[in-house]
Structure 1
Amino acid sequence: MTGRGTPSYTHGTGTTPLLGDTIGADLDRVVAAFPDREALVDVPSGRRWTYAEFDAAVDELARGLLGSGVAQGDRVGIWAVNCPEWVLTQYATARIGAILVTVDPAYRAHELEYVLGQSGTSVLIASLAHRTSDYRAMAEEVRGRCPALRAVHHIGHPSWDELLSRAALVTDDQIATRAAGLSCDDPINIQYTSGTTGFPKGATLSHHNILNNGYFVGETVGYTERDRVCLPVPFYHCFGMVMGNLGATSHGACVVIPAPSFDPEATLRAVQDERCTSLYGVPTMFIAELNLAGFASYDLGSLRTGIMAGSPCPVEVMKRVVREMNMAEVSICYGMTETSPVSTQTRRDDDLERRTGTVGRALPHIEVKVVDPATGVTLPRGEPGELCTRGYSVMLGYWNEPERTAEVVDAGGWMHTGDLAVIGEDGYARIVGRIKDMIIRGGENVYPREIEEFLYGHPKVADVQVVGVPDPKYGEEILACVIPRDPAAAPSLEEIVSYCRERLAHYKIPRRVEVVDAFPMTVSGKVRKIELRERFAARPPRG
């Protein structure tokens, strides 16, 4: 790198060592320290657990699973909306060394069949129904086609009670013996990534991966046993179960469930009534909360922090969250399922520019670098390239797919994220797009994120996504998909072009605008840009 400037490599340092415990042992530590503090609150049902009560409920379910013949390393699926039983299952499986297979609650029968079959899941715990999803009917439909699946237990159904009744068959010595035989490096979770093409891949994570990642995310926002964390994000994803649940319980904090699935009104009410100190969400969730009729009537004065992650965080939205939701210490996290998930995070004492314009710097014990996607050579700071990360957080691999694992984890142990990033001289990272989302217009590389950030400042724009669509002259042309603040006064193409003309290079200015009511989303809050591209690729342009 001689003569080319400082390399785009950095690593997180800190005085706090990594945790060497299993998830069960860490929970034992926290229960002993804070037995009478609240651990879990379910607002919809009004149920509450102190840490001592939570520990007892986890123990009962762990015994029930053990009494049902669940062995160490067996896969136990959880296919449910957010509820206390989801959290109990997470910790109960960890306590006995079963591998929790987290299934997207939006999955339909054919997707469920693939995940259960690919993972070899033997026991499935599922909701009964939610909105248009009849989980019981879909589970019955696929049961005969999944040879490893021997039992299904539905939450709120006699089959759940039957599972718990088996706890009586297990002695203290049996549960202690199982716990004593576990290693923190054992696989404990399979998370199926929500790919836009092909079948999802099962990122396999260990106790060490996710316990430490949750712990250091919580350390970075300053959690103590006095914090109360409102989690409207889905538990099936790392955002909910790692950054949320494990981030809270590893510090003796309380998890607050506002609703089974995201509801902006229920979220704000839970923050107000439960005096939450922290709130999580993807940008679209915060946008929905800020734009809710009557938003100003909620008392959010208890909030001090929170996490915005899952997809790029618009600067203007972040500023409103800080100003109008009292989240002065709100943090941006960046990562992916395969890295447990967080690699970089902004700090509590960062100025507003860093907390709105970057995704922070490497967490303790994690390395990050930016490389040339074609050659793998580390680039100088300030140059965009592919972000790679290495450390305790990198997954064990994709479940039973060594070839797909080798495509993303190189011989040096670096996880190749597929994200385009720039690392500044201060070590802070900016995400400028996905390699596959980058638009190449007439030979110019265009990063949609830059244009989106700019358009968030337009007074008529509530939300925006920029994608490339085929163009006979330039190869690709720039399309801005806009959700207007007022549907009756949507911005025209002329207004968008005029707004951009003085501030953006000519080749970055959108040549098409489409007004939409909503974006196609994954449950984890990522916009499915491929759907937007496909939807509008063949449609004649209109202003």
Structure 2
Amino acid sequence: MTWTSNTGVEIPDLVPASLRQEWVACGLCPGKDLHRLFTEHVDAHPDRDAVVDDAGPVTYADLDLMVSAAARTLTGAGLGPGDVVGIRMVNSRRAVVAELAVAAIGAVSLPFPAGRGDRDALSLLGRARAAGLLVDPGSDAPAGPLPHLRTTLALEAGCAPGTRPAPVVDPRQPARILVSSGSETEPKMVAYSHDAFAGGRANYVRALHRGDGPMRNLVLVPLSSSFGSCGVPVTIAALGGTLIVRERFDPAAALRLVAAHRPTHVFGVPTMLGRLADQHTGGRPPGLLALVSSGAALPPAVGKRCGDRFRTRVISVYGATDGVNCHDAGTGRPDPAVATIVITDEHGVLVPFGTRGEIRALGPMTPLSYVADPELNARYRSSGGWVRTGDEGFLDEHGVLHVTGRLRQVVLRGGLTISPAEVELHLSDHPAVAEAACVGVPDPDLGERLCACVVPRHGHQAPDLAALTTHLTATHDLEPRKLPERLLVLAALPLGPTGKVCRTTLTRLAAATP
């Protein structure tokens, strides 16, 4: 099956149709689109809180009215089935309404974080050939050529009576495109179907819950992020729970939300959860069942501190935008209701228990494919739809997954993925730089920080860190989160046996440099 947008972007499903049908038949995927699932929850419990944001709570009944009104606005602007619609909004009820309204008109949403530079926005919207863009009031479309973008709308979140949309949507078609910079020089786009969200991804979140009643999930990360997709399409549309968000992360304010709205689960990257633990002194908050960490490896010391301070479970999730998930990697077994995980050698052959190799995954949460990038599909998807994660690990004799490293070079700073390749590319055109490589150095707070390792060009004085970051921002509009925070000046980059830059040596040198 291949879905084609109105602007000509093709999104093939690389998983065999027979597997998709089997997952629906055995109940691992519902075979329903996200808007239909949302409205079933509206009808079942209209007075339940759907969203709690900085302005307070919104019930399912009121959210339904907001979504219907927004859907009419989108339809009136000429958007509809077959369109990709970008969403650049901060965490709020408006962002929730926007994503559900896109589903309500049968279109595909492409959320990406607000506050990022125009460079990534233009890349995403351009490659996806987005027909529309939804922004917060007071925001504008990115400045640059977007020939397929027909309209930019600033959505309000008001209630207005009207007919509820009833889109005819194949649940196998794309629902949302997840964005991750990964290890590529441009942000990756990965398309997920309605069933992959309401099935595999919802199965992952549902398995976190050991209590009675609906989940109440405080999501600290941007809803537009890959980890944040456990918010609107999963917590609300698939599970009918309550989603609690703030526009921006602030530890003290987040703790006030925990006290006031009693979430059952708090979702955050390790840096966020560590900062919550540093400010929390009140023991286990009423109603809290677990802290859920993902987006980066959870340092054991941070996990212990969170568990001790909150006196609750701390669940570390190994996952990736590309389509893999396992709770408590190192102590837990992969859940086939989410994704079956195997370990292979470089040729795709299964290796014995205890042997390290590449982690591969396939299951109900497996995405359709990468968007507008056949090269990524060829490189990171294998026969039968398996996802090649680029991560190294092994399964022990008990079937427990142990993640041991990354085969692809990325830096994880506070849960944000930075591509060294992208930064290196732009450092290399600085007039005083002959060679450049970037590596992550350990950091007790953020996990890793990016270090630029440069060789000065002959006849030029070595640039300082301020000069390099100015070049990256002024010349290439690089986002602040991607800027190097450390600098190592060398006479030559160390090389390995094959003639490639030896990143192991660079990382050691960078870590030893004050």
- State the TM-score, normalized to the length of structure 2: 0.73
Aligned to 1:204: 191
Shift in Å, 1:416: 0.2
Change in CA separation of 1:214 and 1:393 when aligned onto 2, cut-off 3 Å: closer
1:256 matched to 2:240: no
3-state SS of paired residue (2:488): helix
1:23 alignment partner, one of 2, 17, 34: 34
Shift in Å, 1:299: 6.7
Structure 1 contact 41–256 (Cα < 8 Å) conserved: yes
> What residue identity is the alignment partner of 2:113?
D
1:48-101 Cα offsets, whole Å, 9 max, x none, are 221122222212212221222212020111011111111111111112211101
Aligned to 1:362: 335
> What residue identity is the alignment partner of 2:326?
T
1:331 matched to 2:319: no
In the TM superposition, 1:39-58 aligns within 5 A as 39-42=50-53, 44-46=54-56, 48-58=57-67
1:130-187 Cα offsets, whole Å, 9 max, x none, are xxxxx42xx2623xx111112112245xxx88xx99x97xx66xx33xx1x2110111
Change in CA separation of 1:94 and 1:51 when aligned onto 2, cut-off 3 Å: same
Shift in Å, 1:268: 0.9
3-state SS of paired residue (2:404): strand
1:236 matched to 2:220: no
Structure 1 contact 24–91 (Cα < 8 Å) conserved: yes
Aligned to 1:386: 358
> What residue identity is the alignment partner of 1:235?
L
1:403-443 Cα offsets, whole Å, 9 max, x none, are 321211112211000011121112111111101359xxxxx
Shift in Å, 1:282: 0.8
1:316 alignment partner, one of 275, 282, 301: 301
1:304-346 Cα offsets, whole Å, 9 max, x none, are 1231111111122222222211323x3222221121xx52124
5+ residue gaps, structure 1, are 1-11, 130-134, 347-353, 439-447, 450-466, 468-475, 486-526
Whole-angstrom CA distance in 2 between matches of 1:479 and 1:309 = 18
> What residue identity is the alignment partner of 2:321?
T
Quote the RMSD (CA, aligned, Å). 3.4
Aligned to 1:454: none
1:34 alignment partner, one of 37, 42, 45: 45
Aligned to 1:146: 146
2:83 alignment partner, one of 74, 89, 94: 74
Whole-angstrom CA distance in 2 between matches of 1:421 and 1:112 = 34
Structure 1 contact 224–251 (Cα < 8 Å) conserved: no
Aligned to 1:499: none
Change in CA separation of 1:242 and 1:302 when aligned onto 2, cut-off 3 Å: closer
1:536 matched to 2:498: no
Query: Which aligned segments of 4 or more residues in structure 1 are displaced greater than 6 angstroms?
Result: none
Shift in Å, 1:213: 2.8
Change in CA separation of 1:253 and 1:479 when aligned onto 2, cut-off 3 Å: closer
Structure 1 contact 39–249 (Cα < 8 Å) conserved: no
1:219-244 Cα offsets, whole Å, 9 max, x none, are 20226644321111111112112366
3-state SS of paired residue (2:287): coil
Question: Once the two structures are aligned, what percentage of the paired residues are identical?
Answer: 26
1:247 matched to 2:219: no
Structure 1 contact 344–362 (Cα < 8 Å) conserved: yes
Whole-angstrom CA distance in 2 between matches of 1:268 and 1:363 = 34
Aligned to 1:430: 402
Shift in Å, 1:298: 7.7
Structure 2 contact 29–200 (Cα < 8 Å) conserved: no
> What residue identity is the alignment partner of 1:378?
L
3-state SS of paired residue (1:66): helix
Whole-angstrom CA distance in 2 between matches of 1:81 and 1:23 = 21
Shift in Å, 1:479: 8.6
Whole-angstrom CA distance in 1 between matches of 2:263 and 2:440 = 40
1:415 matched to 2:387: yes
Whole-angstrom CA distance in 1 between matches of 2:445 and 2:298 = 18
Structure 1 contact 184–207 (Cα < 8 Å) conserved: yes
1:10-65 Cα offsets, whole Å, 9 max, x none, are xx9x98532111111211222222222111111x222x221122222212212221
Structure 2 contact 129–148 (Cα < 8 Å) conserved: yes
Structure 1 contact 225–251 (Cα < 8 Å) conserved: no
1:101 matched to 2:115: no
Structure 2 contact 118–142 (Cα < 8 Å) conserved: no
- State the TM-score, normalized to the length of structure 1: 0.69
Change in CA separation of 1:207 and 1:224 when aligned onto 2, cut-off 3 Å: farther
Shift in Å, 1:109: 1.6
Structure 1 contact 230–279 (Cα < 8 Å) conserved: yes
1:96-143 Cα offsets, whole Å, 9 max, x none, are 2111011232421222111111111121111356xxxxx42xx2623x
Structure 1 contact 333–359 (Cα < 8 Å) conserved: no
Structure 1 contact 231–244 (Cα < 8 Å) conserved: no
5+ residue gaps, structure 2, are 1-22, 413-419, 421-436, 447-480, 491-508
Aligned to 2:475: none
Structure 1 contact 22–184 (Cα < 8 Å) conserved: yes
Change in CA separation of 1:313 and 1:426 when aligned onto 2, cut-off 3 Å: same
Structure 1 contact 382–422 (Cα < 8 Å) conserved: yes
Change in CA separation of 1:103 and 1:479 when aligned onto 2, cut-off 3 Å: closer
Structure 2 contact 343–357 (Cα < 8 Å) conserved: yes
Structure 2 contact 334–401 (Cα < 8 Å) conserved: yes
1:88 matched to 2:90: no
